[in-house]
Amino acid sequence: MNNDRIALARLKDLLWIIFIAGMVIGLGRFIFGLGASTNMTDQLPWGLWKVFNMVAGAALATSGFIIAAIIYIFQIEKFKPVARFSIVVGFLGYGSSLTALLFDIGLPHLGWHPFVMWNPHSFLFEVFWCVSVYWSITAFELLPVITERFPFPRLTHFIHQIMLPVVILGITLSTMHHSSLGSLFMASPTRLHPLWYSLWIPPEFFISAMGAGLSTIVLLLISFSYLYRRTVNLKLLTSLVKGSAAFLALYLVIKILDFTINQKWNFVFGPDISWETYLFWIEIVLQTIIPVIIFLTPAFRKRIIGLIIGTSSAVLGLLMHRIDTGIIGYFTSAETTYIPNLSEFLLSMGILSGAGLVFFLIVERFHIFDEPGTLADGHTPAVKLWTRSETKEVFGGARLKRTLVTAVIVIPATWILFQDQATGPFKPIAQPISPYVLGIDAMRTQLRLDGDLNGNFVNFNHKQHQEDFVDEYDFEKQEESCIMCHHLNLPNDNNTQCRACHKDMLLDTPMFNAERHRNRFKTEAAFEEFKHWEEVQPTKNFKTCLECHQENMIGLAKMSEKEFSHQAPGYKHALHGSCQNCHREREGDAAEADDDSNCQFCHLPGK
């Protein structure tokens, strides 16, 4: 027994290490943004946290509403011994999914908006509401498990009295949001690979979630029995996996009908086979073939090893299906790939580890399997209440010291190891600007801007901007309006192109070459002093620059010492700053009611 307790303690220590490290990464994500902590891109914005933790995690946590439906709706009492366990799994599964989603949202402090700013036309809005409310319902279903350990018998009795309508509401909401999760991907018929895109995605998501959800509860029950040396109720587990096999077999039938009716077999056996085909086959074998064969064969399902293999296969298969549908299925159309960085994995596992620690706290301190009965008056009988010694064991003493020592070691180690990936500012890769300006017409009155040559260009009406500035600022000569955009020009040039200074798409680049000015200094010491100030504080050289270039560098005289810097910001930042600031000023004028500060004013759809 002592060895068992030591093994369990080591497992908890490991969970604490992963959880603390994950939270360090999470803190870095909030401080430095998504760009510093993820490998997500504009082409593939649905990363590990959203698909693995949220979409797949919610599916694997469906055991709560399935078991509730079996017990309360279909009145099958033999599954009641695992009712509370399934509620705990649902509560922690959905809770960890919502937590991961909070990290994935670009502006997490605005995460409350969907509660008060409704968009009933959005599937994502419905998913958010259903998942959030259903998690609240699982918390309510778990509440009597907590209150019965405290001297609140009337409160516990009242909660039991109103539980049935709450459970039915939870079943309804869970049914809705699983189908709606699939509906999210119906919005991308030309981007998602045909192996995973279908008009039947909603029922596929719902049915596969129920099949994998039952397998998840069986796998967790076996793991729990092993860790705490409890007797495995093999008869009950075999009944659960039979239900799992029925749902997974139905899912396979739906996939076959989908591929037949919609004529997609060419992507599986025909001329359109690709690397996605082999991935799809692995997914189908894991998600349906292996578990269905094991669960429907008495010789396999009546053995613990058979149940472990079958349920593990079903869980891995569902994870693959959700990741393939939410991420990998878009690789071909996006012409790029997404591989989560180590910090994304660590935060993802950190959230799950946190859920695991709460799980151990609940199953060790509350009646999860040994549910107390009721007295003649309907009140919960007197049970062993939460004692002072238990509180000290959980929140103080040796456990607290052990956790603090772990945190002291893990926090700085994680911050140091991940300072270039998640706990430090985003460091973009170099993307030198190419000769990108293309004249659309012979007179170059309209220009096509595409700094990184990725095809996402902007058509810029050059002539119209010149005329607008002349009218607005009442310049005597039209050429003088050029300085509004060409705010600083090279010597003896009237309209230097942006890329001459803003040489990289994202990185700041020096626009001044000190070596070219060496011959202007009488002594090497004077030049070195000039070069030194250029490196550490370029504003000190501003007066010297202005003395030589006031006449031949248009725009330099209008730059104050405070603003002057020889580090030109990235091309994207420079153009956004220049264009957006001007457009927003114009938008404030009632006469300019064209909403030209909106992104799509320049970046038109389809470009």
Angle at which helix 2-32 crosses helix 397-417, to 10 degrees, equals 40
Q: What residues contact residue 10 under an 8 Å CB cut-off, 6+ apart? A: none
- Give the Cα separation of 65 and 94 in Å (integer): 12
Cβ burial of 352 (10 Å; 0-12, 13-18, 19+) is: buried
Give 178 or 306, the one with higher predicted confidence: 306
Give pairs for 165-170: CB < 8 Å, separation 24+.
166/137, 166/140, 166/141, 167/68, 167/72, 167/137, 167/141, 168/72, 168/73, 169/137, 170/64, 170/65, 170/68, 170/134, 170/137, 170/138, 170/141
Q: Is the pLDDT of residue 596 over 70?
A: no
- Domain end point (choices 351, 366, 386): 386
Q: Per-residue pLDDT for 439 more than 90?
A: no
Across the chain, mean pLDDT equals 81
Looking at per-residue confidence, does 585 or 333 come out higher? 333
Highest mean pLDDT pick, 127-141, 229-243, 304-318, 400-414: 304-318
190 and 130 fall within a common domain: yes
Sign of the Cα torsion 316, 321, 326, 327 reads positive
Residues 6+ apart with CB under 8 A from 111: 102, 105
Residue 19 lies in a domain: no
Question: What distance, in Å, lies between the first and last C-alpha atoms of the chain?
Answer: 66
Does residue 512 carry a pLDDT above 60? yes
Domain count, the chain: 2
Q: Indicate whether 4 pLDDT > 50.
A: yes
> 217: exposed, middle or buried (C-beta count within 10 Å: 0-12, 13-18, 19+)?
buried
Whether residue 552 sits in one domain with residue 459 = yes
- Listed residues 386, 405, 428: the one ending a domain: 386
Q: What mean pLDDT is predicted for residues 354-376?
A: 74
Could you list the residue range(s) of the whole structural domain that residue 139 is in?
Answer: 38-386
The region of weakest confidence among 215-229, 308-322, 426-440 is: 426-440
| Residue at a domain's end among 351, 370, 386 | 386
Residue 124 has pLDDT above 50, yes or no: yes
Type of residue numbered 285 = V
Q: How far apart are CA 317 and CA 94, in angstroms?
A: 20
Q: Are 463 and 583 found together in one domain?
A: yes
258 in a structural domain = yes
CA angle 482, 487, 491 (to 5 degrees): 95
Model confidence at 385, pLDDT cuts 50, 70, 90, reads very low
Co-location of 72 and 133 in the same domain: yes
The pLDDT of residue 319: 95
Cβ contact 446:459 at 8 Å: yes
- pLDDT tens digits, one per residue of 233-289: 899 999 999 999 999 999 999 999 999 999 999 999 888 899 999 999 999 999 999
Residue with the bigger pLDDT between 131 and 362: it is 362
User: Three-state DSSP class for 127?
Assistant: helix
Average pLDDT over residues 293-315: 95
Per residue in 463-504, pLDDT tens?
777 777 665 555 455 556 677 777 788 888 877 888 788 888
Are 90 and 170 in contact by the 8 Å Cβ rule? The answer is no
Q: What is the CATH number of the domain that holds 313?
A: 1.20.1630.10
**Closest of 130, 209, 127, 138 to residue 167, by C-alpha:** 138
Chain centroid to CA 575: how far? 29
Radius of gyration of the chain (CA): 31
Q: Looking at residue 92, what is its pLDDT?
A: 93
**Are residues 376 and 445 both part of a single domain?**
no
State whether 83 and 145 are in the same domain.
Answer: yes
Contact partners, residue 130, CB within 8 Å, separation at least 6: 173, 174, 176, 177, 180
Count of CA atoms in the C-beta half-sphere (13 A) of 373: 3
The Cα 365–Cα 84 span in angstroms is 13
Residue 524 pLDDT: 84
Report pLDDT for 204: 92
Say if residue 468 is in the same domain as residue 324.
no
517 falls within a domain? yes
Residue 155 φ then ψ, to 5°: -65, -45
Q: What is the mean pLDDT of residues 10-15?
A: 90
More confident residue, 133 or 200: 200
465 CB-side CA count, 13 A: 20
The residue-averaged pLDDT of 79-95 equals 90
Asked whether residue 545 is assigned to any structural domain, the reply reads yes
Instruction: Let me know whether 222 and 100 are in one domain.
Output: yes
Nearest to 207 by CA among 186, 236, 172, 182: 182
Which of 166-175, 281-290, 465-474, 578-587 is the most confident on average? 281-290
Say if 327 falls within a structural domain: yes
Query: Which region among 130-134, 384-388, 551-555 has the lowest average model confidence (pLDDT)?
Result: 384-388
Predicted confidence band of residue 511 (pLDDT cuts 50, 70, 90)? confident
How do residues 185-232 score in pLDDT, each as one tens digit?
A: 888 888 999 999 999 998 999 899 999 999 999 999 999 888 888 888
pLDDT attached to residue 561: 54
Packed helices 83-104 and 342-365: angle between N→C axes, nearest 10 degrees: 150
pLDDT at residue 557 is higher than 60: yes
Residue 360 reports pLDDT greater than 80: yes
H/E element, 314:
helix 304-326
Specify whether 464 is located in the same domain as 595: yes
Q: What is the pLDDT of residues 320-345, one digit of tens each?
A: 999 999 999 999 998 889 999 999 99
**Residue 560 vs residue 139, higher pLDDT:** 139
Report the candidate in 14, 20, 178 with the shortest Cα–Cα distance to residue 94: 178
Q: 466-500 as b/e, with b when 16 or more CB fall inside 10 Å?
A: bebbbeeeebeeeeebbbbbbbbbbeeeeebebbe
| Residue matched to tokens 């660590």 | 346
pLDDT value of residue 144: 85
Query: Is 419 within a domain?
Result: no
- Map residue 568 onto helix, strand or coil: strand
> What's the pLDDT at 253?
96
Whether 233 and 308 map to the same domain: the answer is yes
3-state secondary structure 478-491: HHHHHHHCCCCCCC
Same domain, 187 and 320: yes
Average pLDDT rounded to a whole number, residues 570-580: 80
Q: How high is the pLDDT of residue 378?
A: 40
Residue 431, domain member (yes or no): no
pLDDT at residue 527 above 70?
yes
193: how many CB neighbours lie within 10 A of its CB? 20
pLDDT of res. 129: 82
Give percent of the chain above pLDDT 70: 85
Query: Quick one: DSSP state of residue 56?
Result: I
User: Which two three-digit tokens encode residue 591?
Assistant: 């006469």
d(CA 19, CA 6): 20
Same domain membership, residue 484 and residue 353: no
Query: Distance between CA 389 and CA 123 in Å, rounded?
Result: 49
Residue 12 has a CB neighbour count (10 Å cut-off) of 18
Q: Which residue has the higher pLDDT, 425 or 327?
A: 327
Q: Calculate mean pLDDT across residues 10-18.
A: 92
pLDDT > 90: what percent of the chain? 30
* Dmax (CA) of the chain: 105
For residues 314 and 294, give the distance between their C-alpha atoms in angstroms, rounded to a whole number: 11
Model pLDDT, residue 587: 63
At 426, is the secondary structure helix, strand, or coil?
coil
How many residues are present in the chain?
607
CA atoms within 13 Å, Cβ hemisphere of 513 = 6
What is the pLDDT averaged over residues 393-412?
A: 77
* Residue 36 or 346, more confident: 346
452 touches 433 (CB < 8 A): yes
Determine the pLDDT at residue 383: 42
Specify if 534 maps to a domain.
yes
